[in-house]
Amino acid sequence: MYLDIITPEATLFSAEVNSVAVPGIDGAFQMLDNHAAVVSLLVKGKVKIESDSFEISDDSLFEKQNNIYSLNIVSGTVEMQNNRITILADL
């Protein structure tokens, strides 16, 4: 599946991923390949991205532990549809 993370200033991330976990307004949840369509508000927390290989344009915003990158957000929205995830985030 494909993930885009966009802020008002720039596109922070755009690549194929294995899974994405987000801090949803009703609790954290994870999206995997072929996940059902979903739209949710996001709250303060970490977006966690797991992938075999990808490049990050500004790695100063991301923390890395093993093959999982995390990004702290203040709020945002997420949409998952047809194996494409778009996160609009405020940092």
Residue the block writes with tokens 């949710």 = 40
Q: How far apart are CA 38 and CA 53, in angstroms?
A: 25
Between CA 33 and CA 18 the distance in angstroms is 7
Options 3.30.565.10, 2.60.15.10, 3.40.50.300, 3.40.640.10; CATH of 2-90: 2.60.15.10
Confidence at residue 60, expressed as pLDDT on a 0 to 100 scale: 82
* Distance from C-alpha of 67 to C-alpha of 86, rounded to nearest angstrom: 21
pLDDT above 90 as % of the chain: 71
Q: Looking at residue 55, what is its pLDDT?
A: 66
- Ranges of residues in the chain with a pLDDT under 70 are 54-59
In whole angstroms, give the CA distance from residue 2 to residue 9: 21
